[in-house]
A = this chain, B = another copy of it.
Amino acid sequence: MSYGIGILGAGVMGSDHARILASQVAGAHLVAVFDPDRARAEASAGANGARRVHARGIDLIDDPEVEAVLIASPDATHAEFVLACLARGKPVLCEKPLAASAAECLQLIEAETKLGRRLIQVGFMRRFDPFYGDLRAGLEQGGLGPVLLAHCVHRVATVPGYFQADMSITNAAVHEFDILRWLLGQEIAAVQVMRSRRKSTATLRDPLMIVLETDQGVVADVEAYMSAAYGYDIRTEVVCEEGTAELARPQPAAFRRNGSVAAAYPADWRGRFADAYRLQLQGWVNGVRSGVPAGASAWDGYLATIIADAALKSLNEGGRVAIPAATRPALYR
């Protein structure tokens, strides 16, 4: 009755998924873990009730008790593991990015299309966030009229030392690209990155102001600021013909003292998207059990990648970069 899950990767993301799966998700249990660092694989397995640690990722995928696979291994390994899951007909939740390049994404799409059924879900967890859900429901009710503009803010207090220049786009802003597509039901047609004055202590080109255009003419500006210092702050306002809709946020208690009223910001994404990660895992398990896929598809993963590629080109070369329209395969309609 309970579904058996295997997790590839026992780093920050992988072990967090393992913890959530074991302690907050109904209908599934952790069976096995793989990580090249065996000690941390065992730590994650032990803390979360998994029976086995595998020596190779492929062994975990082959494990008969593993009915579905969660991939939280390094980006370069995603495509290979996803293909192995497809070959065995096992549903897979792959952390973003779907693959290390647009070309690899297309290989996965081709394989899944041949298979003729959707087994791949990509970890754009915001689609499960109740605040985005509330915003989208409000937009769909229709009283606001067509969308004209959007304003997004993506602020991270600080990033770790290994965070490289491109990651402002491939790791952070890519969430905005995906969620705007999902919120608006439109495709991104062009992107232009404006470099602003650089934060004096930042090694990154930080912050960035990214201007997106959709295939229906909507313009959206996205602030991506990886060293915002004060906290983790995600905002979206969608501007329509008859009014605007603004994303809410988890609300902390307010404290009045020392001459002001203050409310805390979360230090990082865990304080903002904990519920989205839990609901993503529950939604994936439910989807796997019911056979009705939920969340972002391989196609969504591919589009996020080509938008990010275009944004990187604009960042590095300047100017507006158009994104050619892509034909969505029937499987993803």
Contact = CB atoms under 8 A, between A and B. Distances in A.
Interface string A199-216: 111000001010101001
A250 B248 CA distance: 9
The 7 closest A-B pairs by CB, nearest first: A243-B257, A197-B217, A196-B219, A262-B262, A248-B251, A251-B251, A230-B243
Given A248-B263, A259-B265, 6 more contacts: A147-B197, A230-B242, A230-B244, A248-B252, A259-B264, A261-B265
Interface string A241-279: 111111111111111111111111101000000000000
Nearest to A254: B246
Interface stretch (A22-30, A102-110, A117-125): A22-30
A151 interface: yes
Given A261-B263, A282-B24, A255 B243 contact: yes
Question: Which interface residue of A1, A225, A259 has the most chain B CB atoms within 10 A?
Answer: A259
Interface residues of A, number: 78
Interface string A115-150: 000000000000000010011001000011111110
9 contacts: A24-B24, A26-B26, A138-B255, A198-B217, A228-B239, A247-B253, A248-B252, A260-B262, A261-B262
A135 B231 contact: no
Given A23-B27, A261-B265, A148 B207 contact: yes
A309 interface: no
Q: How many copies does the complex hold?
A: 4
B1 A257 contact: no
Question: Which interface residue of A242, A255, A264 has the most chain B CB atoms within 10 A?
Answer: A255
A218 interface: yes
Contacts of A256: 230-231, 233, 243-246, 265
Contacts of A131: 251, 253
Contacts of A149: 196-197, 207, 209, 223, 225
A254 B239 CA distance: 12
Given A250-B251, A261-B265, A263-B261, A241 B229 contact: yes
Contacts of A2: 2, 29
A112 B261 CA distance: 45
Given A26-B24, A261-B262, A262-B262, A151 B252 contact: no
Interface of A: 1-2, 21-27, 29, 49, 131, 134-135, 138, 143-149, 151, 153, 194-201, 207, 209, 211, 213, 216-219, 221, 223, 225, 227-231, 233, 239, 241-265, 267, 282, 286
Contact of A239 (B207, B219, B267): B207
B253 A151 contact: no
A257 B239 contact: no
Contacts of A259: 230-231, 264-265, 267
Contacts of A225: 148-149, 239
Contact of A245 (B24, B144, B253, B267): B253
Question: Which interface residue of A22, A201, A231, A282 has the most chain B CB atoms within 10 A?
Answer: A231
